[in-house]
Amino acid sequence: MSDYLVEVEDLKMYYPVRAGFKTIPAKAVDGVSFKIKKGETLGLVGESGCGKTTVGRTMLHLYKPTGGRVIFDGEEVTEQNIHQMRKRMQMVFQDPYSSLNPRMTVEDIIGEPLDVHHLYANRNERRERILELMETVGLNAEHATRYAHEFSGGQRQRIGIARALAVKPDFIVCDEPVSALDVSIQAQVINMFEELQEKLGVTYLFIAHDLLVVHHISDRIAVMYLGHMVEIGDADEINNNPLHPYTQSLISAVPIPDPKIARAQKRIVLEGDVPSATNKPSGCPFRTRCRFATEQCAAERPELTDRGNGHLVACWNK
Partner 1 sequence: MKLFSLQQNPDLFKPATEEEKSQQDVMSESVSFFKDGCRKLMKNPLAVFSIIVLAIIVLAIIFVPIFVPYEYDEMLSVNGKRDKGAKNLAPFTYSELEQEYIDNGGQRFPHIFGTDEQCRDYFIRVIYGTRVSLIVGIFASVIVLIIGVLYGAISGYVGGKADMIMMRIVDIIYALPDMIIIILLSVVFREIITFPSGSLLSRLGTNMVSLFIVYGLLYWVSMARQVRGQILSIKENEYILAAKAIGTKSGRIIKRHILPNCLSVIIISTALQVPSAIFTESYLSFVGLGVSAPMPSLGSLANAAREGLQSYPYKLIFPAIMICLIVLSLNLLGDGLRDAFDPKLKK
- Positions touching partner 1 (CB under 8 A) are 57, 60, 62, 82-83, 86-87, 90-91, 93-95, 98-104, 112-113, 116-117, 145-147, 150, 160, 163, 167
Whether residue 148 contacts residue 159, with contact meaning beta carbons closer than 8 Å, is answered with: yes
Shorter beta-carbon distance to partner 1: residue 62 or 262: 62
Would you call 101 helix, strand, or coil by DSSP? coil
Shorter beta-carbon distance to partner 1: residue 10 or 150: 150
Q: How far is the CB of 160 from partner 1 (least distance, A)?
A: 7
Q: How far is the CB of 101 from partner 1 (least distance, A)?
A: 4
Outline where DSSP puts E strands in 93-175: 171-175
Whether residue 220 contacts residue 229, with contact meaning beta carbons closer than 8 Å, is answered with: no
Residues 6 or more apart whose CB falls under 8 angstroms from that of 217 comprise: 41, 43, 190, 193, 194, 204, 206
Q: How far is the CB of 231 from partner 1 (least distance, A)?
A: 28
Shorter beta-carbon distance to partner 1: residue 95 or 234: 95
Q: What are the beta bridge partners of residue 25?
A: 16
Shorter beta-carbon distance to partner 1: residue 139 or 313: 139
Rounded-to-integer distance, Cα 40 and Cα 310, Å: 15
The DSSP H or E segment spanning 107 is helix 106-116
Shorter beta-carbon distance to partner 1: residue 95 or 219: 95
What crossing angle do the helices spanning 106-116 and 123-136 adopt, rounded to 10°?
120
* Phi, psi of 311, deg, nearest 5: -95, 110
Whether residue 206 contacts residue 227, with contact meaning beta carbons closer than 8 Å, is answered with: no
Shorter beta-carbon distance to partner 1: residue 105 or 248: 105
Rounded-to-integer distance, Cα 119 and Cα 121, Å: 7
Rounded-to-integer distance, Cα 74 and Cα 1, Å: 7
Q: How far is the CB of 123 from partner 1 (least distance, A)?
A: 17
Rounded-to-integer distance, Cα 256 and Cα 263, Å: 9
Q: How far is the CB of 86 from partner 1 (least distance, A)?
A: 4
Q: How far is the CB of 222 from partner 1 (least distance, A)?
A: 21
Look at the chain and count its residues.
318
Shorter beta-carbon distance to partner 1: residue 92 or 290: 92
Whether residue 286 contacts residue 245, with contact meaning beta carbons closer than 8 Å, is answered with: yes
The three-point CA angle 170-174-180 to 5° equals 155
Q: How far is the CB of 79 from partner 1 (least distance, A)?
A: 13
* Phi, psi of 275, deg, nearest 5: -65, 160
Shorter beta-carbon distance to partner 1: residue 3 or 21: 21
Q: How far is the CB of 95 from partner 1 (least distance, A)?
A: 6
